[in-house]
Amino acid sequence: MSNNNDYWKENVSLLLKLLAVWFVVSFGMGIILADYLDQFQFFGFPLGFWMSQQGSIYVFVALIFIYVRKMNKLDKKYNVDEEEEQ
């Protein structure tokens, strides 16, 4: 049982880190700081506008794939991954 508890704790701490990034790129840079960031030019875009209409979405995709990789490793580490089909 304590194995499972440690697994769960590591899982939750990974989630919190990823969700912090999720929050910063969308609500942080795409909404709260958008007006401030708009003074910077990013190619042909104002930066805040780009974050809210493009950048945040790319980061969302990356976050899920990072999560998939890290969780697969974590499953193996605590030996709780699903056994291969016989």
For residues 4 and 78, give the distance between their C-alpha atoms in angstroms, rounded to a whole number. Answer: 8
Give min distance, CB of 86 to other proteins, in A.
Answer: 14
Helix (H, G, I), strand (E, B) or coil at 45: strand
Give min distance, CB of 76 to other proteins, in A.
Answer: 11
63 touches 71 (CB < 8 A): no
Residues near other proteins, by CB under 8 A: 4, 7-8, 11-12, 15, 18-19, 22, 26-27, 30-32, 34-35, 38, 42-46, 48-50, 52-54, 56-58, 60-61, 63-65, 67-68, 71-72, 75, 79-83
Instruction: Identify which of residues 79 and 86 has a Cβ nearer to other proteins in the complex.
Output: 79
Nearest to 37 by CA among 21, 56, 17: 56
Q: Which helix (H) or strand (E) holds 42?
A: strand 41-42
Instruction: Identify which of residues 82 and 86 has a Cβ nearer to other proteins in the complex.
Output: 82
Give min distance, CB of 3 to other proteins, in A.
Answer: 9
For residues 83 and 76, give the distance between their C-alpha atoms in angstroms, rounded to a whole number. Answer: 10
